[in-house]
Amino acid sequence: MTVLLTGTSGFIGYHLAKSLLEEGHTLVGVDNLNDYYSVQLKMDRLKNIRNAFKESSYKFYQIDISSYEEMEKIFRDYTFDLVINLAAQAGVRYSIQNPLTYVNSNVTGFSNVLELSHQMNINHVIYASSSSVYGLSDEIPYRIEQQVDSPISMYAATKKSNELMAHVYSHLHGMRTTGLRFFTVYGPWGRPDMAYYSFTKALYNGDEISIYNHGELQRDFTYIDDIITGICGLVNLDFDSLDAKSAYKNKYNIFNIGNSKPVKLMEFIDTIEKIANKPFKRRFVEMQKGDMKITYSDIKALSELIDYTPITNIDVGLQNFVEWYKEYHNVS
């Protein structure tokens, strides 16, 4: 299978690229390598892939998906069996100060991916949505059937718009689209703007950490390997072989992909502290705009479809991350 993967130098994109290549797929990777966080980290991810796999199996292009002309050339130069769109401007808090950046990448960019996939008769587009679309909803756990009409950040609004645009293309053109609402993904090679990464950095630097909402937050932390297992299960699934009565026979599907076991923020912090055997300098502060008090995924649909079962608990996942962090940043 030949796959176009946008956001290939990102955290999830990097791990997914490795997994798809290990399965024997041919991969074309696209990423704009923006400086929202460390470009060096993104380059190191790319270097690892290039060192591990043959050039004939993996081609990389530094392209911004918001450029229709550049994306069109990629679509015309290759014949893709599947498109996976993980490219996006990430970060809930950053979207409050920089909303237009999110519109450009997450809305314009994704519309380019959908339109070109339609023009080139791509059978299936898998794309990243987010748990942030649940916004002000107080229905816990979050179910894919519930309304998501109250986003509380520009990031969440753009992800909701992605789901709506995908629905249009599925409805009008019969294109199969599968949206994945990711729940707080963490692990080695992760994003420095995420709390677990910035907390660990502060710990080893001896800096103080700010704990929002006085620690009264919960997150459905999901280890990267479990996320990749879920995505690959969908990549390798033959939807056309499903029973005619299956709810997932539809061309348009949305799935939660999380751990389904919320962890209290203070437990998360205590676990990092225990693994590192170092105490945090803590400062408790008020809730930050755009934050959700709890995220909690109902993963029944994905479990029914591909037997998705997360297996990595927070102790193992954070142990793996801290060990990677120390090696990558050369700290002890």
d(CA 107, CA 166): 11
Catalytic residue (one of 36, 58, 142, 155): 155
d(CA 268, CA 265): 5
Partnered with residue 282 across adjacent β-strands are: 209
d(CA 210, CA 195): 10
Contact 10, 65 (CB under 8 A): no
Helix (H, G, I), strand (E, B) or coil at 233: helix
* b/e per residue 260-289 (b: at least 16 CB within 10 A): bebbebbebbebbbebbeeebeeeeeeeee
Ramachandran category for residue 24: left, alpha or beta (phi over 0 → left; psi -120 to 50 → alpha): left
Helices of type H across the chain? 11-22, 39-52, 68-77, 92-97, 99-102, 109-119, 154-173, 195-205, 224-235, 265-276, 300-306, 314-329
Helix-helix angle 314-329:195-205, to 10 degrees: 50
Closest to 222 in 3D by CA, of 251, 181, 193: 181
Evaluate the omega torsion of the peptide bond into residue 141 and state whether it is cis, within 30 degrees of 0.
yes
Chain centre to alpha carbon of residue 247: 24
**For this structure, is 325 an active site residue?**
no
Would you name the residues annotated as active-site residues? 155
